[in-house]
Amino acid sequence: MGMKIDLQTAAQRLREKDNILILIHQFPDGDTIGCGFALCRALQTLSKTARVLCSHTVNQKYDYILNSVTPQCFEPDFVVSVDVADQKLLGEPVLSAYGDRIDLSIDHHGSNTFFAKENYVDASAAAASEILYELICLLCGEPDKQMAAALYTGISTDTGCFKFTNTTPKTHLIAAKLMERGIDYGEINRIMFDTKVKSRILLERMALDSMRFFCDDKVAIMTITREMKQKSGADDEDLNGISALPRQVEGVLIGITVREQEGGYCKISVRTHEPVSAAEFCAKFGGGGHVRAAGCEIKGSVEEASEQLLALAKTYFEAK
Ligand SMILES: [Mn+2]
């Protein structure tokens, strides 16, 4: 386990070093991308050589962030990770290349494993981009417009557009500072929250069509078959967040999504409302997760899996 340091020390390390490699987590989201590229731009503004590295390709909707840095090629002398809770989350090939030589980690996950030589973790931050805002202020003063757009994206996406309960007064204060840089926050939020690719909409249409209701409409089960994925042209990234749909129906207490996988099994996502624990529900099938959102795997076809899930769901509502 590495050392814990304060943010001033983290800023000092970055000031002392050059040829800085910034690592972001696999399946990159708005927060890790916003952090990585805002820091990269800040370091390049300080005439340092810096670049961002990720195991996966960044979705093109983040192009306005990617285009804010100058591509630079170099052998790193200092490696920093942002919004990464554990080095395993770097994914391959980055994990094998740099997993055991990370000098500095800056993160906001309570589950952070302090895998770097030096670590700054603030679990009260709604987004790692909040921390990066403060770090950049220490490094080179208020972020410029491009850095601000990247950091705003990180904060907005990690808070579900300031809707989730991780949002704090400080989140809004930092967002206000970023808005003062003249960023197009309306456009950023439109791209992040109100735009879907066509394949996603086509898949949603088929998935919604599959939704069935049970137990006086307290249970909803939606299935996504491999055929639906193929017909719609949707890839795994297009499926992000789709398991929220069944629980969005008013009155549904257990919303279940059954996703057919290759190899004769199904991935199950369960979303619940009070008083049903999704974690307990999924534990019955050897899975787990959080109180309101959990998952498990069940062998068999979507029909077989749905039958087993419904049988368990019924026990929550039938008179005992
Ligand atoms: Mn994050």
Mean pLDDT on 164-193: 97
Mean pLDDT on 276-283: 95
What integer pLDDT is reported at residue 25 of this predicted model? 96
Mean pLDDT on 270-293: 93
Tell me, yes or no, if the two domains 3-193 and 198-315 fold the same way: no
Q: Say how many Å lie between the CA of residue 90 and the centre of ligand 1.
A: 13
For the chain, domain boundaries: 3-193, 198-315
Closest CA to 316 of 287, 281, 292: 281
- CATH pick for 3-193 out of 3.90.1640.10, 3.20.10.10, 3.30.460.80, 3.10.129.10: 3.90.1640.10
CA dihedral 37→103→54→162, nearest 10 degrees, is -50
Query: Between these two residues, 182 and 288, which has the higher pLDDT value?
Result: 182
Residues 237-253 pLDDT 10s: 788 889 999 999 999 99
Q: Is there a cis peptide before residue 275, judged by omega within 30 degrees of 0?
A: yes
Residues 10-48 pLDDT 10s: 999 999 999 999 999 999 999 999 999 999 999 999 999
Q: Say how many Å lie between the CA of residue 114 and the centre of ligand 1.
A: 16
Average pLDDT of the chain? Answer: 96
Q: Say how many Å lie between the CA of residue 127 and the centre of ligand 1.
A: 5
| C-alpha distances in Å from residue 36, one per residue of 136, 181, 215 | 12, 19, 47
Closest CA to 294 of 312, 306, 282, 308: 282
Q: Say how many Å lie between the CA of residue 98 and the centre of ligand 1.
A: 20
Q: Say how many Å lie between the CA of residue 283 and the centre of ligand 1.
A: 26
Q: Say how many Å lie between the CA of residue 246 and the centre of ligand 1.
A: 25
Mean pLDDT on 80-86: 96
β 104-107/78-82 pair status: parallel
Q: Say how many Å lie between the CA of residue 192 and the centre of ligand 1.
A: 15
- CATH pick for 198-315 out of 3.40.50.720, 3.30.950.10, 3.10.310.30, 3.40.50.2300: 3.10.310.30
Closest CA to 41 of 32, 31, 50, 33: 50
What integer pLDDT is reported at residue 128 of this predicted model? 97
Instruction: With beta carbons less than 8 A apart as the criterion, state whether 82 and 39 touch.
Output: yes
Report CA 154 to chain centroid distance, whole Å. Answer: 10
Q: Say how many Å lie between the CA of residue 285 and the centre of ligand 1.
A: 29
**What is the end-to-end Cα distance of the chain in Å, rounded?**
49
What integer pLDDT is reported at residue 320 of this predicted model? 52
Q: Say how many Å lie between the CA of residue 317 and the centre of ligand 1.
A: 37
Q: Say how many Å lie between the CA of residue 171 and the centre of ligand 1.
A: 13
What integer pLDDT is reported at residue 319 of this predicted model? 64
Q: Say how many Å lie between the CA of residue 316 and the centre of ligand 1.
A: 34
Mean pLDDT on 293-311: 96
What integer pLDDT is reported at residue 240 of this predicted model? 82
Q: Say how many Å lie between the CA of residue 82 and the centre of ligand 1.
A: 9
Rounded CA-CA distance 228/202 in Å is 9
In percent, the amount of the chain with pLDDT more than 70 equals 99
Instruction: Name the pLDDT band for 289 (thresholds 50, 70, 90).
Output: confident
Q: Say how many Å lie between the CA of residue 314 and the centre of ligand 1.
A: 36
